[in-house]
Structure 1
Amino acid sequence: MNTEETIEELKKIVKQKGLKYTEQREIVLNILLNADEHLSAEDVYNKIKEQFPDTNIGIATVYRALSFLEEVDLITSIAFGTDGKKYESNSKSHHDHLICTNCGKIVEFLDEEIEKRQDRIAKKNKFKITSHSMQLHGLCEECQ
């Protein structure tokens, strides 16, 4: 899905749930759709202040919008324990993550052999995979 299609999907979901469509949700989603990296709620808030200086959105509104967008599967998050979450759009193609436990750096990767192996394991166990995510935790080159 491109940005416009994802925004239309948000409008459809909000209408189906009988909720009011808000510009704030759209702005938060737009920030994540156009981000090149995973963003914390504070990162999203700061980008809104930079890119939409005339919009009055508080940090609490950002947290509520992120929670809603994740609940309706338009975004996903990676939890960092007491350090909170980092978010990304679900519009990207499938990928997995390497996560540095020291600095929080996130590297996205896709390995076809791993994907095929997962499919074989599921088939062997008569299991139908509907989704998956892989997170490998360790130390990045800079933190080793």
Structure 2
Amino acid sequence: MGERRADRLEQALRDAGVRVTRQRAALLRVIADAEDHPDAAELHGRAVTAGAGVSLATVYRTLTTLRAQGVIEKLEFQGEPARWEAADQRHHDHMIDLDSGAVMEFTDERIERLQAEIAAEMGYEIVHHRLELYVRRR
């Protein structure tokens, strides 16, 4: 999955008229391989660790371009720096642990059904939604 995703990210940059340099290609691989929700600084650190001499400014520019192309999503959780994830995943919601900062993905058909029912009762159809639960362990 990571390699195909990296290829799609690379093509999105090309489609936007952005040259895919060695540094950007390394960053794209880091983004494609991420199984968590890294922020820009974490992506930069991972790219540097992987041997890419990429600047933090390049990371931000690349993220902005990829978002504009619709291949990554920006997640803005309360009080946290923006985090990023690939846009090619199936729908899921997020639960954010306020103590540890951990972000967990989940899907629950009961919640999805209830949201659709509420929207329909009010005369609407859901086009897109995001659900974020901010939690603490008991």
Q: CA RMSD in A?
A: 2.4
Q: Which runs of 5+ in 2 are unaligned?
A: none
TM alignment of 1:36-55, pairs within 5 A: 36-51=35-50, 53=51, 55=52
Superposed counterparts of 1:38-77, under 5 Å? 38-51=37-50, 53=51, 55-77=52-74
Quote the residue 1:33 is aligned against.
32
TM-score when normalising by structure 2: 0.80
Range with greater deviation from structure 2 (127-136 or 7-16): 7-16
The answer on whether the counterparts of 1:24 and 1:65 sit within 8 Å (CA) in structure 2 is: no
The 1:29/1:115 distance shift into structure 2, 3 A limit, reads farther
Q: Percent identity?
A: 28
**Change in 2 beyond 3 A, CA 1:97/1:81:** closer
For residues 53-89 of structure 1, give each alpha carbon's deviation from its aligned partner in whole angstroms, at most 9, with x where no partner exists. Answer: 1x32011111211222222221123224554112222
- CA spacing shift, 1:9–1:125, aligned 2, 3 Å: farther
The number of residues matched between the two structures is 138
Per-residue CA deviation, residues 1-31 of structure 1 (Å, 9 max, x unaligned), is: x444434433443344333334444433321
* Partner SS for 2:110: helix
